[in-house]
Structures are given as structure tokens and as C-alpha cells.
Amino acid sequence: MKYSKQDAEKFSIPGGSEGYLYPAHPKGEQSIALVTMDGEYPVDGYSINEKCTEAMFMIEGTFEAEVDGEKVTLQKHDELIVLPGEKYRLTGTGTSLIIITPAWDKSQNKIIPKNHE
């Protein structure tokens, strides 16, 4: 199966992120998103995906990531793996390819405000 950018769903996220979510694997085993960010995600607090592993591969730029309290810097060709249930946040400018297993579903993703940590 081949998918082109025109097959992907364009999205934007408050805080300076936009991207493309490509069609999921026919059996829902994975999906891929291309994300460009110039800011922070989420704007306030942390994101948690309750069911998916998110493998972020940096194509260009630099992201500062915090995953369950551990801070790391991501640069070109680095990969960050966020496991289900881990809270994370990102800041910076760059583009990453995110492989999501199983396929991404917005109902799985939760934002936790900073004052509810």
C-alpha cells in the first residue's frame, strides 16, 4: 500500500504544531504522523497516550522533551520512545516522524494540566 501526502489528514495543535496523520494500517496495527513544531506541546501540562507507544524520529531541528520527569534533548536522527501511560511534553522547533502503535485514536490521548500533576 502506498500513501501520499494528499491521502493524509492535516491537523494543527495549539502551541505551534501542525502535521499530517497518514491512513492507519488496515488492521489498526500502526499509524504514522509527520509533525512540525515551533513552540510547545501541550501548551499547558502533559500529554498521555493511554494505549499507544509513540516512537518519535527527529528529521530536523531540536526538541526538548520531558517524559515522566526525565528531560532529554532530541536532535536530527534521534529517536524518543514514549510508552503507553507515560506523561510527556515537548518544546522546540523541528520536524519529527511519529510511528504510533497501535494506530492513533484521539480518544486515547489525554492532556493533564500542570496543576493536576
CATH number for the domain harbouring residue 38: 2.60.120.10
Q: Which three cell numbers stand for residue 101?
A: 502503535
Answer whether residue 42 is part of any domain: yes
In a domain, 76, yes or no: yes
Query: pLDDT tens-digit profile of 57-79?
Result: 999 999 999 999 999 999 999 99
Residue 114 lies in a domain: no
DSSP letters spanning 58-113: EEEEEEEEEETTEEEEEETT-EEEE-TT-EEEEEEEEEEEEEEES---GGGEEEE-
Q: What is this structure's pTM?
A: 0.90
> In this predicted structure, what is the pLDDT of residue 117?
52
Which amino acid belongs to residue 2? K
Q: Percent of the chain beyond pLDDT 90?
A: 84
Count of structural domains, the chain: 1
State how far the Cα of 61 lies from the Cα of 78, in Å rounded to an integer: 10
Classify residue 116: in a domain, yes or no.
no
115 assigned to some structural domain: no
Domain range for 80 is 5-108
pLDDT of 28: 93
